[in-house]
A and B are shown apart, each in its own frame.
Chain A
């Protein structure tokens, strides 16, 4: 066998063997990875709309998704809004839940962030940041309370707290939420969020 044909044969067989190996690994892990992703979203929905056992997408566009959360007995538990935007150092994706009539934000959770560790990354911290988002009036834009308040009682219903030393990260989260709230209000006005319509279609 001459050299060049040997080269071709070796390369092709190495390629084929590793290709088939990879294909089987890909198939074996594909489902699991997709499942992981789905579980992550579901867990986030349950966190922000407690009591949800069953959720479905009612509206979706780039970087903005509205889920409808239903309880076991079929009652509407609330809506979960997935939104993303740019933070201090990278993308922030978050999710917050509303009550069924969309008047109040129930909870906020951060899904992904790349803020400064130990500072901006405190946006994932319940004690320092997230608990200040509970039960906020969502009929108008929210504002930031500066400097940081030490307990949620100090805040007005439309105010959320700043993280000491990470004003920008706090502002970015606020900005993402405010933008998505505006979209949400518009959608509601246009009647695109009523679940009956969804069911009928």
Chain B
């Protein structure tokens, strides 16, 4: 039950984009078309889940037992970078169509703060292994939900008469603000 609560809260209540402000760059940059937004969301969810697993293992099997917590930042970022590389090679071998869909987004993910943020927030909240993985999947899905909704709205806004200076990032940020207001309704739902 607590795991379910954690999962839903990661998607809706503590949404990575709308609550933690993580992954704003892809959220603004790759949300112009629904299809690419969806692929980006999937890629992020995928990498987040794997990162959750590996960052927890490294933190609890190496860094904490040997008192190396000051290497956390360096090791997490290196793990993420190499994981993205591996995932990219792996997908290219296993499933070329998937690679076609996700390929161009994978390198972008290395500097996506959502992935690093996931690892750090999981450490900060002292999540157990299972919790970390659930948190990773949930956060990834939350990111996907936010970016796909945003892309839908931005496609619609292509036809709208948005004031010139607000076009692009400006209106996207205001939409995100109103989305954050709407998502507030879920506050307190997770006990």
Contacts and interface: CB of A to CB of B under 8 A. Distances in A.
Instruction: Count chain A CB atoms within 10 A of each CB in B14, B125, B188 and give the residue with the most.
Output: B188
Interface in B103-132: 125
Nearest to B184: A116
Interface string B69-101: 111001000000000000000000000000000
Interface in A95-141: 116
Contacts, number: 24
Contacts of B187: 88-89, 116
Chain B interface, DSSP helix/strand/loop, else mixed? loop
A19 B71 CA distance: 8
Interface in B34-80: 68-71, 74
A22 B70 contact: yes
Contacts of B191: 86
A18 B74 contact: yes
Interface of B: 13-14, 68-71, 74, 125, 187-188, 191
* A-B CB proximity, top 8 nearest: A26-B70, A22-B70, A168-B188, A88-B188, A22-B71, A25-B70, A22-B74, A89-B187
14 contacts: A18-B74, A19-B71, A22-B70, A22-B71, A22-B74, A26-B68, A26-B69, A29-B70, A88-B187, A88-B188, A89-B13, A89-B14, A91-B125, A168-B188
Interface of A: 18-19, 22-23, 25-26, 29-30, 86, 88-91, 116, 168
